């Protein structure tokens, strides 16, 4: 019926556009549901090694040490060796094929400085040197095989701290503090620079850290003020997805182009979620877990976003 309509009225621009194979504007087909994570939870951390996604720790009424591996090729989950230290809100970074789970929450009044290394090749954990400042809701960026643990909070402070961890020497070094102290933010790394976006402020800062010069620069703010968001990077673009904005769990998806210092609205995630986590495999973004405030439910959703279909 669509082809017949196009033949009958070929001169109408709107009809020609509808006949084209190219999709313009928001495209719901850019999101696809995949196999749910076995353990519904929020405040988890995700890292990717050798094309596999590792979902570690979190909270679902209890703090968790669970470690579940997702294989996007087979769309299956496998339980792996649990993290030694049970905690919610750890942050993770990958160096040389190993995952470092750092910081987090012991209880509502106690905060972690623990640093534990997971080796997917041996499915084993090793204790490493603690982060100097115990804190929760930090975000991590990895540049040149160094891990930068930025921001966070404890009962007494909201931090602008930037502490660098070198897995080779197992040592920490204090670096230039972030201009805006905050927690519950997210990080994307593009071309060796770290972009710290959103978080627990009245605005939504976007601050760029250059490890080469140990300096910070303010960039264009994220359009939608939010915290507890997650970030994925594909083709040097940063996708800020989900989060919480005072009264609701968001499905918002906004793309930041560091080269142009500009933001664009993209197709929303199918389900509104905050305190979720993201892994990127083969230029696709896997948004996993979280919390939905309206439903008051911990989430096991695994929704994959393909930016190439959302142009």
Average pLDDT of every residue of the chain:
92
Domain ranges of the chain: 29-309
pLDDT confidence bin for 235, thresholds 50/70/90? very high
pLDDT digits (tens, 9 = 90+) for 3-39: 333 333 333 333 323 333 333 457 889 999 999 999 9
Q: What is the 3-state secondary structure (H, E, C) of the chain?
A: CHHHHHHHCCCCHHHHHHHCCCCCCCCHHHEEECCCCCCCCECCEEEEECCEEEEEEEECCCEEEEEEEEECCCCEEEECCCCCCCCECCEEEEECCEEEEEEEEEECCEEEEEEEEEECCCCEEEEECCCCCCCECCEEEEECCEEEEECCECCCCECCCEEEEECCCCEEEECCCCCCCCCCCEEEEECCEEEEECCCCCCCCEEEEECCCCEEEECCCCCCCCECCEEEEECCEEEEECCECCCCECCCEEEEECCCCEEEECCCCCCCCECCEEEEECCEEEEEEEEECCCCEEEEEEEEECHHHCC
pLDDT confidence bin for 227, thresholds 50/70/90? very high
* Residue range 29-309 in CATH 2.40.128.640: no
What percentage of residues in the chain have a pLDDT greater than 90? 88
pLDDT digits (tens, 9 = 90+) for 72-131: 999 999 999 999 999 999 999 999 999 999 999 998 889 999 999 999 999 999 999 999
């Amino acid at each position: 019926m669509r082809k017949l309509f196009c033949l009958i009225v070929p001169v109408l621009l709107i009809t020609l556009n509808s006949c084209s194979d190219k999709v313009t504007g928001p495209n719901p087909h850019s999101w696809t549901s995949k196999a749910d994570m076995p353990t519904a939870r929020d405040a988890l951390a995700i890292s990717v090694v050798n094309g596999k996604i590792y979902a570690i720790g979190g909270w679902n009424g209890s703090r968790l040490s669970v470690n579940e591996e997702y294989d996007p090729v087979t769309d299956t989950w496998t339980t792996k060796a649990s993290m030694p230290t049970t905690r919610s809100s750890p942050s993770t970074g990958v160096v040389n094929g190993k995952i470092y789970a750092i910081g987090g929450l012991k209880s509502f009044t106690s905060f972690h400085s623990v640093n534990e290394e997971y080796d997917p090749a041996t499915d084993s954990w090793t204790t490493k040197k603690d982060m100097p400042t115990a804190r929760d809701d930090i975000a991590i960026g990895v540049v040149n095989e160094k891990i930068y643990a930025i921001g966070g909070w404890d009962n007494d402070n909201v931090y602008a701290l930037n502490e660098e961890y070198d897995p080779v020497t197992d040592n920490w070094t204090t670096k230039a503090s972030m201009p805006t102290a905050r927690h519950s933010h997210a990080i994307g790394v593009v071309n060796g620079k770290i972009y710290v976006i959103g978080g627990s402020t009245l605005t939504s800062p976007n601050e760029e850290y250059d490890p080469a010069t140990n300096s910070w620069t303010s960039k264009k703010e994220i359009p939608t003020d939010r915290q507890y968001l997650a970030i994925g990077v594909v083709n040097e673009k940063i996708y800020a997805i989900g989060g919480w904005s005072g009264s609701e769990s968001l499905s918002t998806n906004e793309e930041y182009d560091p080269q142009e210092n500009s933001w664009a609205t993209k197709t929303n995630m199918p389900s509104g979620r905050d305190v979720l986590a993201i892994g990127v495999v083969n230029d696709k973004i896997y948004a996993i877990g979280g919390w939905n405030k309206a439903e008051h439910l911990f989430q096991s959703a695994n929704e994959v976003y393909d930016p190439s279909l959302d142009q």
